[in-house]
Amino acid sequence: MTSSAGVAAPVLVERHGAVLVITLDRPEARNAIDLRTAEAIGAAIDTLESDPSLAAGVIAANGSAFCAGMDLKAHLRGERPRTEERGFAGMVEAPPLKPLIAAVEGPALGGGFEIVLACDLVVASASASFGLPEVKRGLVAAAGGLTRLPKALPRAVALEMILTGDAVSASVLSGFGLINRVVDPGTALATAIDLALRIAENGPLAVRTSKRIVVESSDWPADQEFLRLREAAAEVFASADAREGARAFAERRRPAWSGS
């Protein structure tokens, strides 16, 4: 795929039913993120959010690496690979409200790992590896790695990865619960799409609200937890989709969700 100017697009976007697949397509640069790539990812995330026919997204990559992080050559030219609305890579500071799954083949390093950490679920090839090598270059993982990784892993494990900069295999991180599926090489995308399609079968309002509660509740005071939970869930219980779900169950048919 090429842009109207005849330049190859850095990101491919396609639909699989109610799932939007966003594929990094700069294999010659190990899918490093430059400004064009960040803007293209951000536009795809906006599409996922705004289109009511889309229920979930998958982010994947072509080539031997998932993503090598920030494009250092572009950085030296003065580029900042971020968007005003969503930050680095057009997503890490404001991920979509709808579920997003990372499908990882090969290394996901630096900003590439931070993209993964901004996703909700992770499907990884057995050949995948993950790391934050910024300290090896005198830098820090400022696109979410230093804040999200200690929440996703035991603190000592996260600190070892952060302070050594060493990459860790998918199988090791799976043992700590960071990865949902470790699959045969070449099958991460298909597995992630299948998982996203399973999510898409469910009530969209219920899915979106469930994700929001999980994300926001980590900061709720203990004495307000159930009050805020009831407030957040009230819209779902009063929705047309809740009534449709009950009717479909009673009538032994698939529900026809309206998203309201």
Question: Residue 40 contacts by C-beta under 8 Å, 6 or more apart in sequence?
Answer: 9, 10, 11, 90
CA–CA gap between residue 147 and residue 158 (Å, rounded): 10
pLDDT in the model for residue 237: 94
Question: What tens digit of pLDDT does each residue of 70-127 get?
Answer: 998 888 898 999 999 999 999 999 999 999 999 999 999 999 999 999 999 999 999 9
Active site residue 251: no
Q: pLDDT tens for residues 111-152?
A: 999 999 999 999 999 999 999 999 999 999 999 999 999 999
Question: Is residue 4 over pLDDT 80?
Answer: no
Percent of the chain with pLDDT over 70: 98
**Position 202 pLDDT exceeds 60:** yes
The active-site residue out of 28, 39, 84, 114 is 114
Q: For residue 5, what pLDDT is reported?
A: 54
Q: What is the pLDDT of residues 210-220, one digit of tens each?
A: 999 999 998 89
Nearest to 196 by CA among 212, 180, 184, 185: 180
Q: Give residue 6's pLDDT.
A: 58
Q: How confident is the model over 248-255, as a mean pLDDT?
A: 94
3-state secondary structure of 152: helix
pLDDT of residue 260: 86
Mean pLDDT across the chain, nearest whole number?
95
Q: What is the pTM of this model?
A: 0.93
Paired tokens of 62: 């072509």
As a whole number of angstroms, the distance between CA 77 and CA 84 comes to: 19
Note whether 158 and 149 are within 8 A (CB). Answer: yes
How do the residues of the chain divide into helix, strand and coil, expressed in percent and rounded to 5? 45, 20, 35
How many angstroms separate the Cα of 64 from the Cα of each of 118, 175, 207, 215, 216?
A: 21, 24, 33, 32, 35
- Catalytic residue among 84, 134, 225, 251, which? 134
Q: Tens of pLDDT along 60-73?
A: 999 999 999 999 88
The answer to whether 201 is a known catalytic residue is no
